[in-house]
Chain A
């Protein structure tokens, strides 16, 4: 039995290429990046926003600032340096993001559900995400696909995908390409090359297009050459399940 999180972790790990420099957040992105490092990308460079540069933890960290990240890092730098010297000038290839909401143009909300001043749900806030979304060469989004999370328009733009359409990133001066794929527990969405709207390009094995549409809050377009995600291999699952998290 493969869990939705395992399926997303394996699919996300495959999105990373050996030698890339990857900005990693805690949770599923950290699992995926460390999985890729154990499989096809041994020279993947991981940077956590706590300042651990090219870190190779034995166990998955519980927080972005675990001691094991610091002791296994090439070097540890200050937090201002992470953002000013490494992220801002475009020295990171891939950033992983998630959110409570994503919209058809890949904008992400991690701030509030509802109105800012009287929210229905108060979320943790921005953290490093706005500048990761702006400055990484590309962004991979990983989140479970539910109709309440995949919405026509996010309640609050914490991190910009394509704003309101194809020209916004350039107008806003955002240097990275923006989200290149959104990996969910049902399939993979990618921005249409022209319109930049997220389009379904792959469904996971056993998932129908109707199921994905039912969990999408906008009229989801489907790619003409819709694929089926290759299921996790034995080797991928074995590597994933052999990884332990600190303190558990």
Chain B
């Protein structure tokens, strides 16, 4: 296992293993885990495997805790949520997250709340091996009063006061990508979000991919994660559904709408959970 960012023990070649083995090997109870993917390439299959393996007391980190974190929270995997926008995009609220916050069901949920700019910069700092990031942000808002990882720093050159946010270095970073080659180099394209940053910021990294290919032919705008920064790869075709994988399949918009009804009702959610856990 590698540790960000100065370790010398990077794996020479990531292990390509089944998803269950990948999650069992990398995700432990009590870990800080970041599943990223900004609307696109959301690692749903990996999240569902965490639910099946009944991981507990996780600190879940994600800029946009949408359906996948609503599911993990409802399944009782989370003790804390670190985030910047929690909703069902284009549809409405996250009812499992709300139930956990308001009623501690199925478990109490602590929160640490940022803006998108703050979260993105926390990953950048983590990936860069720095203890914090600097940005123009949060000034005049009520967020710093409630979030201890937001502070103020004075520029040593101009004297200007700027926001400082603490670096994020999750124990495990999990992303989904279109493909990897046999050496374990990973390639993703389209909306690439903060996937590069979360993989580089995390102590261990799991990537699920649509397929393994002999050669990664260049794609405009693609991000390549070299094999030595990825610990484990699992081949999971459709692993981002009901989000989408550009070039492979479209977003299942109906599933996002259906989730609203499932998540509103504990009974409906329990039935959903029983199917996923089976």
Interface of A toward B, CB cutoff 8 Å: 26-27, 49-52, 61-67, 69-71, 75-76, 78-80, 82-84, 87-88, 111, 116, 122, 124-131, 134-135, 156-160, 163, 168, 172-175, 246-248
CB distance from B178 to the nearest CB of A (A): 13
Q: How far is the CA of A125 from the CA of B246 in the complex (A)?
A: 28
CB pair B116 A127 closer than 8 Å? yes
Interface-located stretch among B6-14, B190-198, B207-215:
B190-198
Identity of the chain A residue whose Cβ is nearest the Cβ of B64 in the assembled complex? A127
Q: Does B115 contact A (CB under 8 A)?
A: yes
Which B residues touch A127, using CB under 8 A? Answer: 64, 84-85, 115-116
Identity of the chain A residue whose Cβ is nearest the Cβ of B120 in the assembled complex? A80
CB pair B89 A26 closer than 8 Å? yes
Give B199-239 interface residues, CB cut-off 8 Å to A.
221, 223
Interface-located stretch among B139-147, B168-176, B264-272:
B139-147
CB pair B90 A63 closer than 8 Å? yes
Q: How far is the CA of A127 from the CA of B98 in the complex (A)?
A: 17
CB pair B124 A80 closer than 8 Å? yes
- Given A80-B124, A116-B142, A172-B139, are A126 and B38 also a contact pair (CB < 8 Å)? no
Q: Does B93 contact A (CB under 8 A)?
A: yes
Identity of the chain B residue whose Cβ is nearest the Cβ of A162 in the assembled complex? B140
Which B residues touch A71, using CB under 8 A? Answer: 190, 246
Identity of the chain B residue whose Cβ is nearest the Cβ of A164 in the assembled complex? B140
12 additional A-B pairs beyond A50-B193, A135-B136, beta carbons within 8 Å, are A63-B90, A67-B246, A84-B117, A124-B85, A125-B85, A131-B136, A134-B136, A158-B142, A159-B141, A172-B140, A246-B251, A248-B253
Give B82-123 interface residues, CB cut-off 8 Å to A.
83-87, 89-90, 93, 97-98, 101-102, 113-117, 120-121, 123
Between A61, A64, A67, A128, the greatest number of chain B beta carbons within 10 A of the residue's beta carbon is seen for A67
- Given A76-B191, A84-B135, are A50 and B38 also a contact pair (CB < 8 Å)? yes
Task: Indicate which residue in B89, B121, B143, B221 contacts A130 across the interface (CB closer than 8 Å).
Answer: B143
**Total A-B Cβ pairs within 8 A:** 170
CB pair B116 A158 closer than 8 Å? no
Which B residues touch A159, using CB under 8 A? Answer: 141
CB pair B120 A83 closer than 8 Å? yes
Which A residues touch B83, using CB under 8 A? Answer: 125
CB distance from A63 to the nearest CB of B (A): 4
Which A residues touch B97, using CB under 8 A? Answer: 122
Please, what's the 1-or-0 string for B150-193, where 1 marks a CB less than 8 Å from any CB in chain A? 00000000001100000000000000000000000000001111
17 A–B contacts from the bound complex (CB under 8 Å) = A51-B192, A78-B223, A122-B93, A124-B85, A125-B84, A125-B113, A126-B114, A126-B115, A127-B116, A130-B115, A131-B136, A158-B143, A159-B141, A172-B140, A246-B253, A247-B254, A248-B253
Which 6 pairs of residues, A with B, have the shortest CB-CB distance?
A65-B39, A247-B253, A127-B85, A124-B87, A63-B89, A160-B140
CB distance from A150 to the nearest CB of B (A): 19
Task: Indicate which residue in A49, A61, A70 contacts B116 across the interface (CB closer than 8 Å).
Answer: A49
Majority secondary structure of chain A interface residues (helix, strand, loop or mixed): loop
- Given A79-B63, A160-B140, are A62 and B89 also a contact pair (CB < 8 Å)? yes
- Given A62-B90, A67-B251, A247-B254, are A157 and B246 also a contact pair (CB < 8 Å)? no
Q: How far is the CA of A128 from the CA of B114 in the complex (A)?
A: 10
Which B residues touch A135, using CB under 8 A? Answer: 136
CB distance from A49 to the nearest CB of B (A): 6
Identity of the chain B residue whose Cβ is nearest the Cβ of A131 in the assembled complex? B117
Q: How far is the CA of A71 from the CA of B253 in the complex (A)?
A: 18
CB pair A76 B116 closer than 8 Å? no
CB pair A51 B38 closer than 8 Å? yes
Which B residues touch A116, using CB under 8 A? Answer: 142, 146
Identity of the chain A residue whose Cβ is nearest the Cβ of B192 in the assembled complex? A78
Which B residues touch A49, using CB under 8 A? Answer: 116
Which A residues touch B223, using CB under 8 A? Answer: 78
Between B87, B89, B120, B191, the greatest number of chain A beta carbons within 10 A of the residue's beta carbon is seen for B191
Identity of the chain A residue whose Cβ is nearest the Cβ of B114 in the assembled complex? A126
Q: How far is the CA of A173 from the CA of B140 in the complex (A)?
A: 9
